């Protein structure tokens, strides 16, 4: 058993443990999620600096924010309604951008 190590030595060779694979997949998921939200940022602004910095902060902070909010998620009983209002606003803005 390797415990909390990323690398171990077996038969004189250094090999990766399953924990390293899990950490890589979690980081990859964060990057995919941040890239997936690029159209939502463009619905708000087209400034490249804001788009880049929002994606960088998303990649750096999503995992930490999840663990921070997971314990108190039950206290946010109106979160679904707030997210729905924000998504409807962004969707409406994206649909009306050619008209107005």
How does pLDDT run across 38-69, given as a tens digit for each residue?
787 888 888 888 888 877 777 776 667 777 77
pLDDT at 63: 65
pLDDT, position 46: 83
pLDDT digit string (tens) for 75-100? 888 888 998 999 999 999 989 988 87
Give the number of other CB atoms < 10 A from CB of residue 58.
19
In a domain, 1, yes or no: no
Domain that holds residue 14: 7-96
2 part of a folded domain: no
The angle formed by the CA atoms of residues 41, 60 and 56, to the nearest 5 degrees, is 40
Which residues are CB-neighbours of 94 under 8 A, at least 6 positions away?
43
pTM of the entire predicted model: 0.48
Position 87 in a domain? yes
74 within domain boundaries: yes
- Coil, strand or helix at 69: helix
């Amino acid at each position: 058993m390797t415990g909390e190590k990323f690398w171990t030595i077996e038969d004189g060779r250094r090999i990766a443990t399953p924990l390293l694979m899990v950490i890589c997949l979690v980081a990859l998921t964060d990057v995919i999620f941040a890239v997936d939200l690029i159209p939502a940022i463009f619905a708000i602004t087209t400034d490249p600096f804001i788009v880049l910095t929002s994606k960088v902060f998303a990649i750096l902070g999503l995992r930490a924010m999840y663990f921070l909010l997971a314990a108190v998620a039950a206290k946010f009983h109106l979160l679904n309604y707030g997210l729905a209002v924000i998504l409807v606003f962004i969707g409406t803005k994206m649909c009306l951008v050619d008209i107005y």
